[in-house]
Structure 1
Amino acid sequence: MGESGKSRAWEAYRYPILLLVAILIGGVIGWVAGPKADVLKPFGDIFINLMFTIVVPLVFVNISSAVASIANLKRLGKILGVMLAVFVATGIVSSVLMIVGVSLVPPADGVQIELKAPDELKPLQTGEQFVNAFTVPNFSDLLSRKNMLALIVFSILFGLAVSLTGEKGRRVADGLSLLSEVMIKLIKLLMYYAPIGLGAYFATLVGVFGPELLGSYARAMSVYYPIAILYFFLFFTLYAYMAAGRGGPGKFWRAAVSPAVTSLATSSSVATIPVNLEATARLGVPKDIREIVIPLGATAHMDGSCLSAILKISFLFGLFQMPFHGFETYVTAIVIAVLSGVVMSGVPGGGFIGEMLIVTMYGFPPEALPIVAMIGTLVDPPATMVNATGDTAASMLVSRILEGKGWMNKA
């Protein structure tokens, strides 16, 4: 490789390498310092707070801008329809993979857990929870990242209203487009601090929670982590190949490192939205597709959560000496996993609601809830990494279906 080739390679990989080195250094500091590493937490919190601060205006501006600029409303319908199909399909694939894993290595074998009932197990109030997920009673509530799905619905409707206004709405649409560019510049400014913030945050995670993560539920974690890593590398490479051909995986992994590292360190798909939008822009995903798929994916595309749902179901089956095998058992588990990972993830407190769904659908006693809640906590970092990076892959698949074989070359 010539000097120019080396230079281009360094330019492409420089920032991801810097992030990975910062994370590695933070992990080593946390491991050596132990709980004392908590002193670095404020430096990580600064970065997390900055990312969360930008998320609400970013989601509103980008989604409403994308919808307002779509002259053909059939295009919007196609994007949403194809996106949902991709989300469900990848959720099923991840669920089937975990079923294979837990069939080969039952996660509850030899596990001794003292059952402790929660204070109260409230029944699922699906209607009320879906109302709270998609709407809020006051406009000011939209300004909170806790109501992301309601904000997304409002942003789509606002953009739709701008589009339907016709020529008079063009000024608003142009203004939203300019605001979108400003937000992208703001993201780039914040990312200069990312190596420091993520390194400090990771040092705290390893230093404070390392012993707990290495102790309890070791067998369940020994099943989840390798399968999540396998899905992460093998299936995302496959999705990238399906989406963009032979050159797709290389381009995907060059762009996906930043979202993957950010989500792993922050354990938040929402905090990863700005980084993911930048990554998909580098991949050449059309603006209207990436600005709809990425924010919606952060709340409703959860391959990592589907993996963990199957693990939780299998774990409880083993704990209560119930056989986890048979076609009907597997199909039911997949349906519940996709519901908890794709549908319930958009509901406030979605992770806990998904766990309640597992317990109530199977009729497990209330004591089962804290058990699966602990598993959810322990698998959260890699699950979030799979969730967030899956949004990048999903945007490529949606682009391939809607734009055709050469979509990346068009960009």
Structure 2
Amino acid sequence: MEERKSLFKTYSGIIWLLCGITAGSILGLVFGKGVEVIKPLGDIFLNLLFTAIIPLIFFTIASSIASLEKSEKLGKLFVVVIGVFLGTVLVSAIIMILGVLLFPIHQDIIISKIPLESMQSASGGSQITQLLTANDFYELLSRKSMLALIIFSFLIGFASLRAGEKGEGFRTFLNSGNEVMKQLLHIIMKTAPVGLGAYFAYQVGIFGPQLFGAYAKPLGLYYAVCTFYFVVFFSLYAFMAGGKEGLKIFWGNNITPALTALGTCSSIATIPANLEATEKMKIPAHIRNIAIPLGAPLHKDGSSMSSIIKIAVIFAMFGKDFTDPSTLLMALGITVIVSVVEGGIPNGGYIGEILAITIYGFPMEQALPAAMIVGTLVDPIATLLNANGDVVSAMLITRISEGKKWLSTTLTT
């Protein structure tokens, strides 16, 4: 009896989360669009997360940099982080290309007309500037300036590191702020069963019927390939990182991040769950506090796979051959760019679609709506791979940075 109580206590958070999501999904199936009445519960939960995430990212990154003993260690870590992120993005894109080649999309896609976001034209240099920096401090406090905030946090960490003894008080403040924000996120996540339950109800009730329409085949292919990649390749990555024990700790700690990603469709909203999971997995603080916040805006296995399926759908719409080698190489290049520039918010921006349509020369007014619809319907599982991929990538980064015995060392300490 005591073992059962202990087991329930250990997994109580996950159990309540599953109960909330299951109840929400049932409500969505039964009441359809009627579930919009409970959507505010999900919005409140997500708003609490978003308001806490900006200071969380600042303190986790800045305190991690400020606590490093040698700046050279950070440079080596960056090389490993970027290498792992880029490697998994390319692998995921290649897997989706193979899926499309094995199960071609020949059917005509209905061109649905939906409202387009207002798009402002700007030069390439101007867009890069807006992506990497903000022209006023208060703009850093918006999740739309996530990369700018991350860069600023790194600079603050470096500055406090260079300040030496005079910066000791500030470094203490950063470490204290990091701990306070972690506790705040623990409190907010207590409301996750209700918040995510409401979000699942909304997604099932509103978007469920569209999954069986004209887009059924490409969506079915996408969800099938992504599920295969999630189960098989994430397991392979975990095994590469820590052997059998790595497999065990990954699948034992990624349930809450995975469900959070599915429910919120936001990589940024999943940062707290990812940080908590990687802490339980004994990934060193200086790695998890950099890899997880940096991975949310930059590392997107799911988005790379969705870019491929969108391009394949557009090619099918216009009767073009998707199997040409130059087309496939261009698609790989687009996926890498998309992984860097796409935001971490739900359906955040359509830069990837616009880039692909422009490069391949398709008419924007016809191709973009179809790409946007596919993007919206694949968002849940794409976010799952984007966000949960950060967790398993943190394991790979630790394996490369700390050596093959990192897991046995941390488990004995």
The TM-score bracket by the shorter chain reads: over 0.9
Is residue 91–residue 303 contact of structure 1 (8 Å, CA) maintained in 2?
yes
RMSD: 2.2
Deviates more, 1:257-266 or 1:317-326: 317-326
Is residue 108–residue 316 contact of structure 1 (8 Å, CA) maintained in 2?
no
Residues 136-175 of structure 1 aligned to structure 2 (within 5 Å): 136-175=134-173
Deviation readout 1:217-250 (Å, 9 max, x if unpaired): 1111011111111111111111111111111112
Corresponding letter in the other structure for 1:370 = P
Residues 254-403 of structure 1 aligned to structure 2 (within 5 Å): 254-341=252-339, 343-345=340-342, 351-366=349-364, 367-403=366-402
SS in 1 for 2:407: helix
* Structure 1 residue ranges without an equivalent (≥5): none
Give the equivalent residue in structure 1 for 2:13. 15
Corresponding letter in the other structure for 2:323 = H
Pair 1:189 & 2:183 matched = no
SS in 1 for 2:105: coil
Corresponding letter in the other structure for 1:345 = E
Corresponding letter in the other structure for 1:303 = D
In the TM superposition, residue 109 of structure 1 has moved relative to its aligned partner by 2.2
Residues 91-110 of structure 1 aligned to structure 2 (within 5 Å): 91-110=89-108
Is residue 296–residue 387 contact of structure 2 (8 Å, CA) maintained in 1?
yes
TM-score (normalised: structure 2): 0.93
Deviates more, 1:109-118 or 1:318-327: 109-118
SS in 2 for 1:369: helix
Corresponding letter in the other structure for 1:403 = E
Corresponding letter in the other structure for 2:382 = A
Residues 72-151 of structure 1 aligned to structure 2 (within 5 Å): 72-113=70-111, 125-151=123-149
Corresponding letter in the other structure for 1:52 = F
SS in 2 for 1:26: helix
SS in 2 for 1:270: coil
In the TM superposition, residue 4 of structure 1 has moved relative to its aligned partner by 6.7
Is residue 87–residue 394 contact of structure 1 (8 Å, CA) maintained in 2?
yes
Is residue 130–residue 347 contact of structure 1 (8 Å, CA) maintained in 2?
no
* Structure 2 residue ranges without an equivalent (≥5): none
Give the equivalent residue in structure 2 for 1:57. 55
Is residue 268–residue 344 contact of structure 2 (8 Å, CA) maintained in 1?
no
For 1:112 and 1:50, how far apart are their aligned partners in 2? 38
Give the equivalent residue in structure 2 for 1:38. 36
Corresponding letter in the other structure for 2:174 = L
Is residue 111–residue 369 contact of structure 2 (8 Å, CA) maintained in 1?
no
Indicate the percent of aligned positions where both proteins have the same amino acid.
Answer: 44
Is residue 30–residue 206 contact of structure 1 (8 Å, CA) maintained in 2?
yes
Distance verdict in 2 for CA 1:53–1:364, change over 3 Å? same
In the TM superposition, residue 110 of structure 1 has moved relative to its aligned partner by 4.0
Give the equivalent residue in structure 2 for 1:202. 200
In the TM superposition, residue 357 of structure 1 has moved relative to its aligned partner by 0.8
Distance verdict in 2 for CA 1:201–1:115, change over 3 Å? closer
In the TM superposition, residue 212 of structure 1 has moved relative to its aligned partner by 2.7
Corresponding letter in the other structure for 2:375 = G
Deviates more, 1:288-297 or 1:13-22: 13-22
Give the equivalent residue in structure 1 for 2:175. 177
Deviation readout 1:107-149 (Å, 9 max, x if unpaired): 3424343689969876673221111011011101111111111
Deviation readout 1:154-177 (Å, 9 max, x if unpaired): 000000000011111122112211
For 2:9 and 2:402, how far apart are their aligned partners in 1? 28
Pair 1:407 & 2:411 matched = no
Equivalent residue pairs, number: 408
For 1:339 and 1:393, how far apart are their aligned partners in 2? 21
Distance verdict in 2 for CA 1:178–1:329, change over 3 Å? same
Distance verdict in 2 for CA 1:145–1:118, change over 3 Å? closer
For 2:291 and 2:34, how far apart are their aligned partners in 1? 40
For 2:72 and 2:301, how far apart are their aligned partners in 1? 28
In the TM superposition, residue 187 of structure 1 has moved relative to its aligned partner by 1.3
For 1:103 and 1:124, how far apart are their aligned partners in 2? 36
For 2:10 and 2:396, how far apart are their aligned partners in 1? 23
Residues 208-223 of structure 1 aligned to structure 2 (within 5 Å): 208-223=206-221
TM-score (normalised: structure 1): 0.94
Deviation readout 1:307-328 (Å, 9 max, x if unpaired): 0011111112222222122433
For 2:67 and 2:383, how far apart are their aligned partners in 1? 31
SS in 2 for 1:268: coil
Deviates more, 1:169-178 or 1:4-13: 4-13
